[in-house]
Amino acid sequence: MSKSIEVNDLNVYYGSFLAVEGVSLKIEPRTVTAFIGPSGCGKSTFLRTLNRMHEVIPGAHVEGEVLIDGNNLYGQGVDPVLVRRQVGMVFQRPNPFPTMSIGENVLAGVKLNNKRISKSDADALIEKSLRGANLWNEVKDRLNAPGSGLSGGQQQRLCIARAIAVAPDVILMDEPCSALDPISTLAIEDLIEELKEQYTVVIVTHNMQQASRVSDKTAFFNIAGTGKPGKLIEYDDTTTIFSNPSVQDTEDYVSGRFG
């Protein structure tokens, strides 16, 4: 289930604009890795290159390679659709499909991957995924209610359930708690801790406490100035990054001296 990610010298472009330059890092399976850094430093952009979601933006392209268990995502003939089935994603704002019920939302990805699924299998998968996202007890009596009727935190956990229902190898989270209240945030953080047992989790966050609470390793991104490309400044164990970073910029950032 869980797979490693290896990124070698990756450049990301929007058209001719170099947005992220020269990122190389290695993420172990069954770990949580946090990307931190000031706004606009390219951490979300970089995260999106891990499942080729950046290609949704016209003109965005990359140089370099991203290996998931040794297979290059950007190799010849690799289908981005299949990449995204392996590497799931949770977005900044909860985005359950408003036209679907809670149950249908969980099954949305599965229905794409293999069209037919028996009623009993579907029910079992809904329960398993919602339990996996710590949402089952709250919604088990109203699986046919619209997904958009849930609270923000519940919606975000529904999105996580939807992502894990297709059994991906990696789960990417792009500031999953930035639109949520502290209680809901706590629920998601607990969930990330559990997801780690089965998946490789990569999370972008603006909240440094969150990074230090949930992650095993932390990557600090920064830009030299507006219009300059974002770079990976330091990548190390989370405890090292927050207690004893080797780069001055990192220390300034995590200690709150800028950003």
Partner 1 sequence: MTTAPATQAGPNRLKAKQRPGDRIFSTSTVVAGSLILAILAAVTIFLIAQSIPAFTAEPDDLKGADNFWVYVGPLVFGTIWAAFLALLIAVPLSIGIALFISHYAPRRLAQGLGYVVDLLAAVPSVVFGLWGITVLAPFVQPFWSTLVDLFGWIPLFQGPVSGTGRTILTVAIVLAVMILPIITALSREIFLQTPKLHEEAALALGATRWEMIRTAVLPFGRPGIVSASMLGLGRALGETMAVAMVLSPQVLISFALLTSTNPTTIAANIALNFPEAHGVGVNVLIATGLILFVITFAVNFIARAIVNRRKAFSGAN
Nearer to partner 1, 104 or 189 (CB): 104
* CB of 37 vs partner 1, minimal distance in Å: 22
* CB of 237 vs partner 1, minimal distance in Å: 29
* CB of 234 vs partner 1, minimal distance in Å: 28
Nearer to partner 1, 166 or 211 (CB): 166
Q: Which of 40, 34, 65, 30 is nearest to 50 (CA)?
A: 65
State how far the Cα of 184 lies from the Cα of 156, in Å rounded to an integer: 9
Residue type, 120: S
Nearer to partner 1, 99 or 209 (CB): 99
* CB of 55 vs partner 1, minimal distance in Å: 9
Nearer to partner 1, 149 or 259 (CB): 149
Q: At what angle do helices 182-195 and 152-165 cross, to 10 degrees?
A: 20
Residues that bind partner 1 (CB under 8 A): 51, 53, 56, 81-85, 88-89, 91, 93, 95-101, 108-109, 112-113, 145-146, 148-149, 159, 162-163, 166
Residues 180-187: contacts with CB under 8 Å, at least 24 apart: 180/152, 180/153, 180/156, 181/152, 181/153, 183/153, 184/151, 184/152, 184/153, 184/154, 184/156, 185/153, 185/210, 187/134, 187/153, 187/157
* CB of 90 vs partner 1, minimal distance in Å: 8
Angle at CA of residue 85, ends 79 and 89, nearest 5°: 115
Nearer to partner 1, 56 or 183 (CB): 56
